[in-house]
Amino acid sequence: MAKMNKVRMGMVGGGEGAFIGAVHRHALALDGQIELVCGAFSRDNQNNQRTGDSLGLDDNRVYSSWETLLTAELALPEDERMQALIIVTPNHLHVPISIAAIEAGFHVFCEKPAAISLDEAQVLKSKLKQSDVLYGLAHTYLGYPMVWQAQHMVTSGLLGNIRKVYVEYPQGWLSANEESHNKQASWRTDPAQSGGSGAMGDIGTHAFGLVEFVLQQQVTSLCADLQTHVDGRRLDDDGAALIRTDGGASGVLIASQVCAGEENALKIRVYGDKGAIEWQQMEPNSIIHRPLGEPYRVFRAGMGQPGLCEDASARCRTPAGHPEGYLEAMANLYGYFAKAINAAKAAELTISELGKAPGVPGIDSGLRGMAFIDAMLTSSDSETKWHSVPNTK
Amino acid sequence: MAKMNKVRMGMVGGGEGAFIGAVHRHALALDGQIELVCGAFSRDNQNNQRTGDSLGLDDNRVYSSWETLLTAELALPEDERMQALIIVTPNHLHVPISIAAIEAGFHVFCEKPAAISLDEAQVLKSKLKQSDVLYGLAHTYLGYPMVWQAQHMVTSGLLGNIRKVYVEYPQGWLSANEESHNKQASWRTDPAQSGGSGAMGDIGTHAFGLVEFVLQQQVTSLCADLQTHVDGRRLDDDGAALIRTDGGASGVLIASQVCAGEENALKIRVYGDKGAIEWQQMEPNSIIHRPLGEPYRVFRAGMGQPGLCEDASARCRTPAGHPEGYLEAMANLYGYFAKAINAAKAAELTISELGKAPGVPGIDSGLRGMAFIDAMLTSSDSETKWHSVPNTK
Amino acid sequence: MAKMNKVRMGMVGGGEGAFIGAVHRHALALDGQIELVCGAFSRDNQNNQRTGDSLGLDDNRVYSSWETLLTAELALPEDERMQALIIVTPNHLHVPISIAAIEAGFHVFCEKPAAISLDEAQVLKSKLKQSDVLYGLAHTYLGYPMVWQAQHMVTSGLLGNIRKVYVEYPQGWLSANEESHNKQASWRTDPAQSGGSGAMGDIGTHAFGLVEFVLQQQVTSLCADLQTHVDGRRLDDDGAALIRTDGGASGVLIASQVCAGEENALKIRVYGDKGAIEWQQMEPNSIIHRPLGEPYRVFRAGMGQPGLCEDASARCRTPAGHPEGYLEAMANLYGYFAKAINAAKAAELTISELGKAPGVPGIDSGLRGMAFIDAMLTSSDSETKWHSVPNTK
Amino acid sequence: MAKMNKVRMGMVGGGEGAFIGAVHRHALALDGQIELVCGAFSRDNQNNQRTGDSLGLDDNRVYSSWETLLTAELALPEDERMQALIIVTPNHLHVPISIAAIEAGFHVFCEKPAAISLDEAQVLKSKLKQSDVLYGLAHTYLGYPMVWQAQHMVTSGLLGNIRKVYVEYPQGWLSANEESHNKQASWRTDPAQSGGSGAMGDIGTHAFGLVEFVLQQQVTSLCADLQTHVDGRRLDDDGAALIRTDGGASGVLIASQVCAGEENALKIRVYGDKGAIEWQQMEPNSIIHRPLGEPYRVFRAGMGQPGLCEDASARCRTPAGHPEGYLEAMANLYGYFAKAINAAKAAELTISELGKAPGVPGIDSGLRGMAFIDAMLTSSDSETKWHSVPNTK
């Protein structure tokens, strides 16, 4: 067995007061396979320094801007320089930074959404195609073991022909106006920083991505009703859609950030002619399976649990009954991402030879998300019932 | 205190093998205020007799047809004859029998739907207006204490301005084709007996009625996608709709009978700008209340429970922790129906003077249900997005 | 099929303000097989009359005392007179009234406990042995379908050799002192009316009876710690015990009425070497089954549900998903009791020939309960660890 | 703000195939404050090397034995050498290694139990008193935010005077015999490696520790029934006890490893005269609070959640609805442990001046655990009812 080499990563964004940066740092650290070596955490210089200090980084690797970071790291010896860049800035910077990193030859792990428009996402995809860079997108929920189990139960035919899918993602934290909130709320509801959609971009894409991932089908058309419930807010904070897939399934997608009192209640239910499954993020270690005509049963996450598929088992760190959660889900994405980087390096292959990092959502997921947002916005403004979701393949 | 007089009722339909007839008989008996005195339970003479015998009815009050029943009961002395007729036949007979009963001067308690078309329901309403007859409709779920509590929590302003309502009613019993089922499935999926809709008529109307009851708002427009999933089935067995109300709320309605493994999972969630509530029929004795910015709490049914409104308390027979269920919910409808009959009699008032039986859904609920079905069918066939639900007032 | 004849019953106790009398009346009425024809509901004459009136009883069958009731009913023609007497008085009257009723030849259906001491219960048993009278005891929880299912799952060997049983019955309604409560609390905590124990007699016996019923084993020894938590209260309001059975199982029994906020949370868990089951009264329509080494599954009550044993199915009135509860459970006891009375009559057999009413707890359950209370009281006062529970067979 | 310095730690035990070693490694890594720099993972040299390689350790810091590790690390420059030793060996080595580490001046973080006897634990305590070494004990469940919230709700008087505590810890993984299991099962049931108790030492101590932590009371006496259910097993695999505390509370403790199908279902309920709380490890982010006479409510973990005490909030990394679990709980222990080490270093204080690491269970928790095991074993073998738990203060 070869010695494990920690993958060196840098981070843009994620200074004090940001939510998701810290989440990424916990997630990358959890398995001890990745080391954070540098960062440009905030355009506020003091915040940037404090964040670097709190992480124990060398002063000379806490950079004042992402441009400086890229230049300076590139100048370091190869065995010292960061190997991948984590992007946790507001949305509008995702593509510009991604492209600069790709051009500098760094792998990229980006918070979602990949871009703020479908066009921008396509530009990014072209760029990636011409590069040897690995690109991962933080569709965190796709790191949960039981989401892989759900996919397995669907694609193995256990549920028969899929008829219905209901996905919902109610949150309540934007029930009141932005002033009563932190800076999270403010940039997320600013079109210039967030893109053309609020709730759909922020959480609708998760719901949509979950459907396509679990079913391994594409949503081909939808009929949406988006709304903005809080005075003065400039983007949608709520919406729902009827949906249809290329596999003949239909259903409903709900995503709202004004569901007072709801925390983060992403949930998916899939019904086939032989049975059904149900998974919810807030109790992520269980899947309910309803075989037609039999008592329902509950599959539980955990190393070596009966009935778990290999993809699910491989994403568990503890025996059943020792709950794993959100940070572990994201750590799973980082784990496979780091593994792919090491594999590429060990085999002296380029990434394009290696292919995408298995187990990590990539730019194609990003394109799907942008196509979804586009279709939702168009549909909601239209008097016509069905709108197609562009095929991004 | 005056002596309680049991209200005498007769029943059409509900012979052996029928589901809902027995449910009505349990429900009417539960509180000891109603006596079943006669019936025409089945067109199959043997079934009819066996049913009458099993109920201990006098042979001469087990009639071969509902026509005979009406004539014969009318011929009995007033203090012996039935006072109200319960109709639990297939849907297409609801109006013809109701009208005949009204003409004979009997009160009517009808299984839902009130009719098989909006026109038919309107004819019935006109008939009722000209009569002194009380008319109750078995929207059983509106008999649950916690549904009244839900309405109270909404209309008292506890949740603030209502933004969203999600109602869902998944069942799985029609997942396979009718041959594998009983006679229930077969008439319910026969357009001639059931009306123009399957799942929407059977359970969609419950979901719709629950929304309008809890919100005390009318659904004004909707956008529907109805489907039939089982080969050879002639009516919808599944559907969903985006909905909007005259109170400014919007949301989603789901009703399906092909959700494999689901039992009878009616559930409603209402979100306002100050909080939210959630109720589900399969755990009917609880309401979750999520006040904005506070821990959520659970109100529980039961005599004298803290926080229950009077309408809810009055519908409980036991202390909290002694679960009451579906039969008790329907018994509440019967209880208020019988009370109204006795009140009318005691006061020597006509029903039109008395008004509707408080606490019992009536013909207006029936009209709303038919308007809903109409709108769902029209919308589902249309390329236009929004369709209005006729105002039936 | 012979015509059903309603069984005629009378009631002692259960006037206005009493809890359990009304419960019995709902339960006996639910299936339409029993008619309440007379009563002596309260020693308060006005209460007695009002109760009779509210039930629609003939004035001359509302008696001023149970003694009068027995005498007067006996004087009626056989096809008019009550057939069985329901006893819902405070505990100390259960045996005296039972014996008088037996001597008068009436069947007896008694609220638990059967007696206020083991000796008294044994006297009653002797009396019953010499009579042709049927005796039913309202161990209501043994009327739940899923309690029969639990017994079936244990005795069929599904769980293998039984190792552990945990039963708990926390209530909170006696958390504060009696003055803040109703007359329920006051007689239940009065030794003269209630017997030597408070919580053990009131609810501990239910927990104990449930263990013996589900396991079909006898608890042979126990080690108890009883307590009284509220100042001035004269009987135990709380307790727990380590227990052992004649089948080699061991476990824990908890019964308390000072568990603030708990409603009526009776729950039993049984663990064998091949699997386990769990049932709780507040969600009575489910049993969790944990087969060793497989995902757990949930059996659900309902007519025709997969996996239900016949004894469970026969106790369901509705399809799965239409919750049945506490009143239905007691109605099941009344149903089997009435059936046994009719069967005896039809076959012109004496009860002793017929044997006990199948499906209805009888005096043997009563004896077990008294033996349990005795052992708990003795053990709690003792410095010795284990105390045997008398074998009452 | 000073730059964060990662605390350097080494590990004894935890090679391939061990469960808890990997858990500790995830936990220490999660917050990026600790670095694993060396280890002696297994007496099997190959396992040891493979484990070191998989962790990316320098070859010369993967030691063949813990003795070598201590000697070699001590020889390193102070700013390079490990600062604390993690002990995750079988139980019988905990004290010998702890003492050697203390003598070498290393801080110790030990998997529980602290020792295999009360005497041995007292020796260790004396040793610690004479040293400047910080000692942490992995009572992982005391790292959960909501366990701190539970303590807060009790000690703040919210529940009033505490009357009852029920704690239970059912597991099922030892339902069958050891041969069907891994090496975990085998050493845990070997008296020589595990100490005098099986289930009580392994999980009973967690249940006991949770009671004393949440109540901030000591269990003073108990009455136990321990059992061994699997043929050939040499230690208890199951038990229960009646317990009493020095604060006047009483209750029940259950711990079993033969509860087929149970995962890791640690749960505590506390009842006072003003209300109650309930927490369970398998849904660790919620606490149910039952205020007397009001609807129950649910407090939820998460940064900034309403109603959370500071000690709970400080242990959350994500907003509510992003589940945190077992690894995060242990990471909290490591976090406070590392913070204490840095604080001591920064202030140039000795540990004895600093006191214990706040937020981390220490040797006193270890002593309590050993006292509990002693009392359980003694009580179970005795005919006398109550046995006192030694006061270890």
In the complex, which subunits touch D with 3 or more CB pairs below 8 angstroms?
A: A, B, C
> What is the average pLDDT score of chain D?
94
pLDDT value of position A194:
80
Cβ atoms of C98 and C120 within 8 Å: the answer is no
Q: Which residue of chain A is at minimal alpha-carbon distance from D18? A: A318
Residue-number span of the structural domain to which D162 is assigned: 144-319+371-380
Instruction: Please check whether residues A302 and A187 belong to one and the same domain.
Output: yes
Number of H helices, E strands in chain C: 14, 14
User: What angle do helix axes B94-103 and B66-74 make, rounded to 10 degrees?
Assistant: 10
Instruction: Please check whether residues C309 and C183 belong to one and the same domain.
Output: yes
Q: Give domain status of residue C355, yes or no.
A: no
Q: Give domain status of residue B284, yes or no.
A: yes
Q: Which residue of chain B is at minimal alpha-carbon distance from D287? A: B295
Region B274-297 average pLDDT:
97
Region C78-103 average pLDDT:
97
Q: Which of residues 196-255 of A touch B (CB under 8 A)?
A: 223, 225, 227, 229, 238, 240-242, 244, 250-252, 254
| Structure-token pair, residue A282 | 């807030």
pLDDT for A331-366, tens place per residue? Answer: 999 999 999 999 888 887 777 766 788 899 999 999
Cβ atoms of A359 and A109 within 8 Å: the answer is no
Q: Could you say which of D98, D133, D168 is where a domain stops?
A: D133
C-alpha distances out from residue C241 to A349, C102, C142, C343, Å: 68, 36, 22, 41
In the complex, which subunits touch B with 3 or more CB pairs below 8 angstroms?
A: A, C, D
The partner residue sitting opposite D1, judged by closest CB among A31, A53, A300, is A53
Per-position DSSP letters for D102-161, written without gaps between them: HHTT-EEEEPSPS-SSHHHHHHHHHHHHTS---EEE--GGGG-HHHHHHHHHHHTTTT-S
In the complex, which subunits touch A with 3 or more CB pairs below 8 angstroms?
A: B, C, D
Please enumerate in sequence order all residues whose Cβ is within 8 A of that of D60, keeping only pairs 6 or more positions apart, or say none: none
D338 lies within 8 A of chain A by CB: no
Count interface pairs A-B at CB distance under 8 A. Answer: 129
Instruction: Please check whether residues D191 and D213 belong to one and the same domain.
Output: yes
Instruction: Please check whether residues D152 and D290 belong to one and the same domain.
Output: yes
Q: Could you say which of C109, C133, C157 is where a domain stops?
A: C133
Q: Give domain status of residue D218, yes or no.
A: yes
Percent of chain A scored above 70 by pLDDT?
Answer: 97
Which of C327, C332, C339, C342 has the most B C-beta neighbours within 10 Å, making it the best mutation to test the interface with B?
C327
State the Cα–Cα distance between residues A33 and A83, nearest whole angstrom.
Answer: 13
pLDDT bin (cut points 50, 70, 90) of residue C358 is confident
Which of C296, C299, C313 has the most A C-beta neighbours within 10 Å, making it the best mutation to test the interface with A?
C296
Return the number of other C-beta atoms located less than 10 Å from residue A64's C-beta. Answer: 13
CATH code (residue B16): 3.40.50.720
SS3 (DSSP) at B84: strand
CATH code (residue A247): 3.30.360.10
Buried b (16+ CB within 10 A) or exposed e, B23-60: bbbbbbbbbbbbbbbbbbbbeeeeebbbbbebbebeee
Contacts of B175 in chain A (CB under 8 A): 273, 292
pLDDT for B147-161, tens place per residue? Answer: 999 999 999 999 999
| Structure-token pair, residue C345 | 């009559």
Count interface pairs A-D at CB distance under 8 A. Answer: 130
pLDDT at D181 over 60: no
Instruction: Please check whether residues D237 and D296 belong to one and the same domain.
Output: yes
pLDDT value of position B241:
98
Q: Do C264 and B319 touch (CB under 8 A)?
A: yes
Instruction: Please check whether residues A286 and A246 belong to one and the same domain.
Output: yes
Cβ atoms of A64 and A38 within 8 Å: the answer is no
- Bridge-partner residues for C39, per DSSP? C11, C62
Percent of chain C scored above 70 by pLDDT?
Answer: 97
Which of B11, B16, B19, B26 has the most C C-beta neighbours within 10 Å, making it the best mutation to test the interface with C?
B26
pLDDT value of position B360:
96
pLDDT value of position D377:
97
Q: Do A172 and B229 touch (CB under 8 A)?
A: no
Q: Could you say which of B133, B155, B186 is where a domain stops?
A: B133
Region C289-302 average pLDDT:
97
Query: B301 to chain D, minimum CA–CA distance in Å?
Result: 10
Q: Given its phi and psi angles, is residue C195 left (phi above 0), alpha (psi -120 to 50 degrees) or beta?
A: left
C-alpha distances out from residue A248 to A387, B227, B315, C57, C94, Å: 16, 11, 45, 63, 66
CA A333 to chain centre: 9
Question: Would you give the end-to-end CA distance of chain A in angstroms?
Answer: 39
pLDDT bin (cut points 50, 70, 90) of residue A178 is low
ipTM for this prediction: 0.95
Contacts of D321 in chain A (CB under 8 A): 171, 262-265, 281-282
Region B138-153 average pLDDT:
98
Contacts of B172 in chain A (CB under 8 A): 271, 276, 290, 292
The partner residue sitting opposite C306, judged by closest CB among A289, A295, A298, is A295
State the Cα–Cα distance between residues B363 and C246, nearest whole angstrom.
Answer: 62
Cβ atoms of A50 and A120 within 8 Å: the answer is no
**Which of A354-368, B79-93, B212-226 has the lowest average pLDDT?**
A354-368
pTM of the model: 0.97
Instruction: Please check whether residues D176 and D221 belong to one and the same domain.
Output: yes
Return the number of other C-beta atoms located less than 10 Å from residue D122's C-beta. Answer: 17
Region D109-133 average pLDDT:
95
C43 lies within 8 A of chain D by CB: no
Cβ atoms of D214 and D151 within 8 Å: the answer is yes
Region B68-78 average pLDDT:
98
Q: Do A385 and B223 touch (CB under 8 A)?
A: yes
Q: Give domain status of residue D255, yes or no.
A: yes
pLDDT value of position C179:
59
Contacts of B306 in chain D (CB under 8 A): 293-295
Q: Do D264 and A25 touch (CB under 8 A)?
A: no
pLDDT value of position C181:
56
Region D190-200 average pLDDT:
86
Q: Give domain status of residue C173, yes or no.
A: yes
pLDDT value of position D1:
60
Cβ atoms of B363 and B126 within 8 Å: the answer is no
Q: Give domain status of residue C324, yes or no.
A: no
Greater confidence, D17 or B89? B89
Per-position DSSP letters for A229-289, written without gaps between them: -STT--S--EEEEEEEETTS-EEEEEEES--TT--S--EEEEEESSEEEEEETTSTTEEEE
Q: Do C260 and D383 touch (CB under 8 A)?
A: no
Q: Do C317 and B325 touch (CB under 8 A)?
A: no
Q: Do C242 and D251 touch (CB under 8 A)?
A: no
Region C9-20 average pLDDT:
93
Region C82-108 average pLDDT:
97
Number of H helices, E strands in chain B: 14, 14
Instruction: Please check whether residues D186 and D123 belong to one and the same domain.
Output: no
Q: Do B261 and A292 touch (CB under 8 A)?
A: yes
Instruction: Please check whether residues C67 and C155 belong to one and the same domain.
Output: no
Query: A283 to chain C, minimum CA–CA distance in Å?
Result: 16
> What is the average pLDDT score of chain B?
94
Region C105-109 average pLDDT:
97
Which of A175, A181, A226 has the most B C-beta neighbours within 10 Å, making it the best mutation to test the interface with B?
A175
Q: Is the peptide bond before D113 cis (omega within 30 degrees of 0)?
A: yes
Instruction: Please check whether residues C177 and C256 belong to one and the same domain.
Output: yes
Instruction: Please check whether residues D110 and D172 belong to one and the same domain.
Output: no
SS3 (DSSP) at B279: strand
Q: Do D297 and B295 touch (CB under 8 A)?
A: yes
Q: Give domain status of residue B337, yes or no.
A: no
pLDDT value of position C18:
83
Largest CA distance in chain B: 65
Q: Give domain status of residue C265, yes or no.
A: yes
Instruction: Please check whether residues B129 and B276 belong to one and the same domain.
Output: no
Q: Which residue of chain B is at minimal alpha-carbon distance from A248? A: B229
Contacts of C309 in chain A (CB under 8 A): none
Number of domains in chain D: 2
pLDDT value of position A309:
97
B343 lies within 8 A of chain C by CB: no
> What is the average pLDDT score of chain C?
94
Region C132-139 average pLDDT:
95
Q: Do B385 and A223 touch (CB under 8 A)?
A: yes
pLDDT value of position B66:
98
SS3 (DSSP) at B346: helix
Count interface pairs B-C at CB distance under 8 A. Answer: 132
Region D28-35 average pLDDT:
97
pLDDT bin (cut points 50, 70, 90) of residue A304 is confident
The partner residue sitting opposite B300, judged by closest CB among C25, C263, C300, is C263
pLDDT at B274 over 80: yes
| Structure-token pair, residue D100 | 């050697």
pLDDT for C234-253, tens place per residue? Answer: 999 999 999 999 999 999 99
Query: D300 to chain B, minimum CA–CA distance in Å?
Result: 7
pLDDT value of position B179:
59
Percent of chain D scored above 70 by pLDDT?
Answer: 97
Region D105-123 average pLDDT:
96
pLDDT at C346 over 90: no
